[in-house]
A and B are shown apart, each in its own frame.
Chain A
Amino acid sequence: MIPEIGHFALILALLFSIAQAIFPLWGAQKNHAGLVSLARPLVIGNFILVSISLGCLVWAFYTNDFSVSYVANNSNSLLPWYFKISAVWGAHEGSLLLWIWILSLWSIGVALFSRQLDDEDVARVIAVMGFIAVGFLAFILITSNPFERTFPHFPVDGHDLNPLLQDFGLIIHPPMLYMGYVGFSVAFAFAIAALISGKLDATWARWTRPWTLAAWGFLTCGIALGSWWAYYELGWGGWWFWDPVENASFMPWLAGTALIHSLAVTEKRNSFKSWTLLLAITAFSLSLLGTFLVRSGILVSVHAFASDPERGLFILVYLLIVIGGALTLYAARASKMESSHRFTLFSREVLLFINNILLIVALVVVLLGTLLPLVHKEIGLGSISIGEPFFNQIFAYLFVPFALVLGIAPLVRWKQDKLPRNKSKLFIALGLATLFALTCYFIYAIDHIWTLLGVSLAVWIVVLTLFEIMQNGNLRKLPLSHWGMVMGHVGFAFLIAGISLTQFGSVEKDVRMAVGDKVDLGRYIFSLDSVDSVAGPNYSSYMATVSVKHDTALFKLFAEKRFYQVQSSVMTEAGIDPGFTRDLYVALGEQMSDGSWAVRVYVKPFVRWIWLGAIFMCFAAILCIADRRYKSVLSLRKAKTSTDGLTKAV
């Protein structure tokens, strides 16, 4: 009964979404207040219906209702309750439902926190979000119904959740990532609404900014969680693989990063308007593309759920309608969004624009590297793969100018500035960065050029950011969003320092070890103390105890090899000793015929800094959103109309 309620609620939600996509927009175009006022109730109704539906699926999982085939395929009565809940989004159908629920969550957010905006504008935004919901609801109902029953013969117990997904990471990584993906739909909807109405001013930008920042923050968090999850669960010590699905989440992030900066220019300088719109469309289109790539099954990846071509075709058509429609509208209307504001070659606008371009180049590189193998195969040239070095090489070259400009830009004035004004600061930063690189080279014996470059660029960013804070005078008066920028940039400095130190400084060895054997890794000595059998709730395992000696300090690591009976699969649980300056990492391979084990040992310097940087960026987004000025949008537009009136009068 409960699953049928969930299914029915979903069908009703589709009807509500169709109404939501049509009536408010119609009302806004025809100036019909009655239809416009339908927007909010429809969104609320939609949210309640989708919530009921998701609730029903959660309930089916929680109560082990194996007559629902999705539950039977992805859960098991032995599964702990928290994995039963997170198993809801452990595979295709449920994760799609989560996608839709998050979309309705963002929609209701827009509906409730937009009382200060004109009702017509809100109605347009909500209609666009309704249109997106229609596509996804139709998709789930037609091709991937999570409530399908297995009647009349249903299994006594479930097939179990993929052991890989039985992890804390699954509980939070997908929801965070989806919050980010879907969050860009708000910026997208705002952009489409602006194109339809032809109204794009600083208020529009000020309105769009916190939503975009929130989506970007969630996406940053989601990607970082995924990377961390991969590191300890499936990555054998790697933190990024340029896997097509990772790329699919990274592309909207790059576009989103460009967007939040371009929005800043649009808000503060009333400029970059059409560029901002294009980025808003791009960011969400890439989110959709990411969904398509993952769901259609055309990618070979850990993430790709087995799926049928019908689904792929559906999403492809939908993708063409949404992206094609948005870009057509953009082409027709964008020229009307004139930016009257002028600036000279050396100004903050231009520096921000340069970094926007670099982000887009990075985006194109990732897109090329992800799609080229698909195209290559489709046009009959055979399967190819593009190796990690391709991405690493290009990103290494791109991040140098990016970091250089990132350091300078906040110090430079809007509109017009002279380089000599900041000459001394730049020289001091350059000096400190060089000094730091030399210290690394002579004292810590780091001799890899990219590592030295990476850390000195991190120093460059931090020093210039400090200068920027100091030149503001009274720090207490500095708005929160300013601190957000500072934090985001420092986070980026941590990120590049972490990446360059861990990428070239890690020591890794695959060795064959019997109990009692020792292996020497630089100044760390790993020894295999024992391997014991351990029993878990739904698996049995071998647990290796490895002690690591570093000078006088001694660490103990526990690495496991687990066997999950239900799916009869094997999982590796790495033993990690995390640290601020280094991680010690041990993973157990297979057992050899003579009883010894294949063991991978790692010393990874500063790998935590990568995620630390990401955490900084998430907090940066929170600080920016918390800024007071986003709470008084209405007053701004009113004040602005009156000054506009004045200037015209003058």
Chain B
Amino acid sequence: MNPRRKQRLLLVSIILLGLAATTALILTALDENIDYFYTPSEIINGKNETGIKPKVGQRLRIGGMVVEGSVKRSDVDLEVSFDLSDTGPIVTVIYDGILPDLFREGQGIIAQGHLVNATTIKAFEVLAKHDEEYMPPEIAEAMKGIKHVKPEYTQQQLGN
């Protein structure tokens, strides 16, 4: 083999090796970090598309409307629990931290966390979008026909 060919072979092998390594890396990382999205009914009844229920311990996303009167706070720290629903079934979310500004009862939110038992999720992140009319599209789809309740402020919140 002449030196030029040798060099080319080397180059091509390096590129192929790199490509294989990168692909493997991407696939592993992807496998570890895909979170499925569930609505509360899907947590209870299994996903609409596949009918598969989430396993306990699985990391997932859940989106739903916060059930009126379900928000319970701890007296000493930031732990809070609330119920989410869409068309019926109710799932409880436990969260330790600061809730977003637009978190309100009757409002659509998304939480990310782990399933601790069949109807409870321990969340590490709670998101409410910066738009009072906002509803996660998945929820909007699931809740067609159900009235969306606008948030109401107390006088104290408005600072008057």
A interface, CB within 8 angstroms of B: 162, 164, 234, 236, 300, 302, 306, 344-345, 350, 357, 361, 365, 368, 372, 380-390, 393-394, 397, 510-512, 533, 540-542, 561, 563, 565, 567-572, 587, 589-590, 592-594, 598-600
22 CB contacts below 8 A, A to B, read A306-B131, A345-B7, A345-B10, A381-B50, A382-B48, A383-B138, A385-B34, A389-B32, A393-B25, A394-B29, A397-B25, A511-B77, A563-B157, A563-B158, A568-B151, A568-B153, A569-B102, A570-B101, A570-B157, A572-B101, A587-B98, A598-B99
Q: Tell whether B78 is near chain A: CB-to-CB under 8 Å.
A: yes
Within the complex, the shortest CB–CB distance from A439 to chain B, in Å, comes to 31
A533 pairs with B35, CB closer than 8 A: no
Q: Which residues of B contact A568 (CB under 8 A)?
A: 132, 151, 153, 158
Q: Which residues of B contact A565 (CB under 8 A)?
A: 158
Q: Tell whether B137 is near chain A: CB-to-CB under 8 Å.
A: yes
Which of A345, A393, A567 contacts B29, CB < 8 Å?
A393
Q: Which residues of A contact B96 (CB under 8 A)?
A: 510
- Given contacts A383-B37, A533-B159, A563-B158, are A512 and B78 in contact (CB under 8 A)? yes
Within the complex, the shortest CB–CB distance from B37 to chain A, in Å, comes to 4
A382 pairs with B47, CB closer than 8 A: yes
Which of B30, B98, B112, B153 contacts A589, CB < 8 Å?
B98
Q: Which residues of A contact B102 (CB under 8 A)?
A: 569-570
- Given contacts A384-B34, A510-B78, A540-B158, are A345 and B11 in contact (CB under 8 A)? yes
Query: Please, how many angstroms separate the alpha-carbon atoms of A515 and B132 in the complex?
Result: 31
Query: Please, how many angstroms separate the alpha-carbon atoms of A162 and B129 in the complex?
Result: 12
Interface residues of B in 64-85 (CB under 8 A from A): 73, 75-78
B78 pairs with A385, CB closer than 8 A: no
A386 pairs with B37, CB closer than 8 A: no
Q: Which residues of B contact A345 (CB under 8 A)?
A: 7, 10-11
Q: Tell whether B147 is near chain A: CB-to-CB under 8 Å.
A: no
Q: Tell whether B130 is near chain A: CB-to-CB under 8 Å.
A: yes
- Given contacts A164-B130, A389-B32, are A598 and B98 in contact (CB under 8 A)? yes
Query: Please, how many angstroms separate the alpha-carbon atoms of A540 and B153 in the complex?
Result: 14
Q: Which residues of B contact A394 (CB under 8 A)?
A: 25-26, 29
Query: Please, how many angstroms separate the alpha-carbon atoms of A568 and B136 in the complex?
Result: 20
Within the complex, the shortest CB–CB distance from A365 to chain B, in Å, comes to 6
B76 pairs with A512, CB closer than 8 A: yes
Query: Please, how many angstroms separate the alpha-carbon atoms of A213 and B136 in the complex?
Result: 39
Q: Which residues of B contact A236 (CB under 8 A)?
A: 98
> What 1/0 flags go to B143-160 for Cβ under 8 Å of A?
000000001010001111
Further 15 A-B residue pairs, CB within 8 A, beyond A384-B37, A385-B112: A162-B130, A300-B129, A357-B15, A368-B26, A380-B49, A382-B48, A383-B37, A383-B61, A383-B138, A384-B34, A387-B35, A511-B77, A569-B130, A589-B98, A598-B98
Q: Which residues of B contact A393 (CB under 8 A)?
A: 25, 29, 33
B98 pairs with A600, CB closer than 8 A: yes
Within the complex, the shortest CB–CB distance from A415 to chain B, in Å, comes to 14
> What 1/0 flags go to B18-54 for Cβ under 8 Å of A?
1000100110011011111100000000011110000
Query: Please, how many angstroms separate the alpha-carbon atoms of A254 and B157 in the complex?
Result: 44
B33 pairs with A390, CB closer than 8 A: yes
Within the complex, the shortest CB–CB distance from A297 to chain B, in Å, comes to 9
Within the complex, the shortest CB–CB distance from A292 to chain B, in Å, comes to 17
Which of A300, A302, A344, A372 contacts B7, CB < 8 Å?
A344
- Given contacts A162-B130, A345-B7, A386-B33, are A593 and B73 in contact (CB under 8 A)? yes
Query: Please, how many angstroms separate the alpha-carbon atoms of A330 and B30 in the complex?
Result: 32
Q: Tell whether B57 is near chain A: CB-to-CB under 8 Å.
A: no
Query: Please, how many angstroms separate the alpha-carbon atoms of A139 and B133 in the complex?
Result: 26
Within the complex, the shortest CB–CB distance from A106 to chain B, in Å, comes to 32
Q: Which residues of B contact A540 (CB under 8 A)?
A: 158-160
Q: Which residues of A contact B133 (CB under 8 A)?
A: 306
Within the complex, the shortest CB–CB distance from A599 to chain B, in Å, comes to 8
Q: Who on chain B is nearest to A569 by CB?
A: B132
Within the complex, the shortest CB–CB distance from B46 to chain A, in Å, comes to 11
Query: Please, how many angstroms separate the alpha-carbon atoms of A385 and B112 in the complex?
Result: 10
Query: Please, how many angstroms separate the alpha-carbon atoms of A570 and B98 in the complex?
Result: 14
B7 pairs with A382, CB closer than 8 A: no
Query: Please, how many angstroms separate the alpha-carbon atoms of A599 and B36 in the complex?
Result: 30
Closest 9 pairs between A and B when the two form their complex, measured CB to CB:
A383-B37, A589-B98, A390-B33, A540-B159, A570-B101, A387-B33, A510-B97, A382-B49, A345-B7
Within the complex, the shortest CB–CB distance from A160 to chain B, in Å, comes to 12
A381 pairs with B76, CB closer than 8 A: no
Q: Which residues of B contact A384 (CB under 8 A)?
A: 34-37
Interface residues of B in 98-121 (CB under 8 A from A): 98-99, 101-102, 112
- Given contacts A300-B136, A368-B26, A394-B29, are A571 and B97 in contact (CB under 8 A)? no
Query: Please, how many angstroms separate the alpha-carbon atoms of A528 and B49 in the complex?
Result: 50
Q: Who on chain A is nearest to B19 by CB?
A: A361
A567 pairs with B50, CB closer than 8 A: no
Q: Which residues of A contact B132 (CB under 8 A)?
A: 567-569
Q: Who on chain B is nearest to A511 by CB?
A: B78
A382 pairs with B36, CB closer than 8 A: yes
Query: Please, how many angstroms separate the alpha-carbon atoms of A345 and B112 in the complex?
Result: 48
Q: Which residues of A contact B77 (CB under 8 A)?
A: 511-512
Q: Which residues of B contact A589 (CB under 8 A)?
A: 78, 98-99
A385 pairs with B37, CB closer than 8 A: yes
A571 pairs with B101, CB closer than 8 A: yes
Q: Which residues of B contact A302 (CB under 8 A)?
A: 129-130
Query: Please, how many angstroms separate the alpha-carbon atoms of A594 and B75 in the complex?
Result: 8
B159 pairs with A365, CB closer than 8 A: no
Within the complex, the shortest CB–CB distance from B151 to chain A, in Å, comes to 8
- Given contacts A164-B130, A344-B7, A368-B26, are A300 and B34 in contact (CB under 8 A)? no
A385 pairs with B101, CB closer than 8 A: no
Query: Please, how many angstroms separate the alpha-carbon atoms of A598 and B77 in the complex?
Result: 9
A510 pairs with B98, CB closer than 8 A: yes
Q: Which residues of B contact A567 (CB under 8 A)?
A: 132
Query: Please, how many angstroms separate the alpha-carbon atoms of A352 and B99 in the complex?
Result: 46
Q: Who on chain A is nearest to B133 by CB?
A: A306
B29 pairs with A542, CB closer than 8 A: no
Q: Which residues of B contact A571 (CB under 8 A)?
A: 101
Q: Who on chain B is nearest to A592 by CB?
A: B73
Within the complex, the shortest CB–CB distance from B72 to chain A, in Å, comes to 11
Q: Who on chain A is nearest to B21 by CB?
A: A397
B159 pairs with A542, CB closer than 8 A: yes
Query: Please, how many angstroms separate the alpha-carbon atoms of A267 and B49 in the complex?
Result: 53
Within the complex, the shortest CB–CB distance from B114 to chain A, in Å, comes to 12
